[in-house]
Amino acid sequence: MRCSIISTNWCLRSQAFDIATASGSLARSRLEVRSDWGFSLEYDQGIAALQSRARLATLASWAIIGTLVAFSSFELAEALGIITTFTMSETMLILFSIVGVAQTLAYIVSVVLVAMWIHRAHANLHDRGYEGLAFTPGWAVGWYFIPFANLVMPFKAMRELWHATFGTADRYDAPAPTDITLWWTFWIVGNIISSISTRLSLGAMDDATFRMSSTIGVVSSILTIACAFKLIGLIRDITAGQESGVGAAAAFE
């Protein structure tokens, strides 16, 4: 709706009346919202942005899975004594290094893309006018980088995102669904085990210690892969839920 300066008050009243009397789901409403880049963005475009980010975050998660499978193959071979760090051929060392670099790059890219999806998903809740939300889009991402708080707060933010999107509980801090609990459990335990494996490998002076480190590393990789699969499912489900607007009406009841 284009408003002249003279008729601004009339237009605002008309818009408020239209919004108040709109029926059904808000999933296809034409409410204007503010995009991440600071310009006016219609609601449908906000959902389109979420869908685009979901595709990129999903691809990045699959890249994580692929590189972890390749990296854990080396770890498994070392754990079984098939190859050893001290006797590995130059070609094998180069290949191992390439896989390690690819895994690191995939992880960095996935952090950025998943963070963008999380930000947009939470922003959509605020743009729709949900009340009582404990997490802003910025802090839904920011908590991942705050030591100690990142053990709990990202889980709570994802739980709130799920309940607000689907309207599955009468409060946003209700118990999380199993998929979110498993996703976060795999993530935390996998990181703890990975840290143990890394510390062992850094101080290893013989093949036996390297084999132990690699065995623990395989377990960590399996948990991280499971975490990535769960995250892919959460991205898919929450994106679809916001697209259909299944929980939108509940926010205004």
CATH code (residue 47): 1.20.120
d(CA 194, CA 214): 10
Q: What tokens appear for 182 in the block? A: 């498993």
* Structural domain total, the chain: 1
Identity of the highest mean pLDDT range in 103-107, 128-132, 249-253: 103-107
Domain contains 47: yes
Q: Which amino acid is at 150?
A: N
φ, ψ for residue 129 (rounded to 5)?
A: 95, 25
Domain contains 21: no
Give the pLDDT confidence of 109-159 residue by residue, as tens digits.
Answer: 999 999 999 999 999 999 888 889 999 999 999 999 999 999 999 999 999
Domain contains 150: yes
Q: What tokens appear for 198 in the block? A: 């890394």
Domain contains 13: no
Paired strand residues for 42: 32
d(CA 5, CA 8): 5
The reported pTM is 0.78
Q: What tokens appear for 124 in the block? A: 């959509």
Domain contains 12: no
Of 111, 51, 41, 33, nearest in space to 241 by CA: 51
- Contact between 33 and 127 (Cβ < 8 Å): yes
Domain contains 16: no
Paired strand residues for 164: none
Q: What tokens appear for 22 in the block? A: 């709109």
Residue 253 has what pLDDT?
46
d(CA 138, CA 214): 37
Please state the rounded mean pLDDT for residues 185-203.
92
SS3 state at 60: helix
Q: Which helix (H) or strand (E) holds 112?
A: helix 90-128
Can you give the residue range of the structural domain that contains 98?
29-252
Please state the rounded mean pLDDT for residues 236-246.
89
Domain contains 19: no
Residue 43 has what pLDDT?
62
DSSP assigned state of 88:
-
Q: Count the Cβ atoms, other than its own, within 10 Å of residue 214.
A: 25
Of 86, 91, 89, nearest in space to 208 by CA: 86
Domain contains 23: no
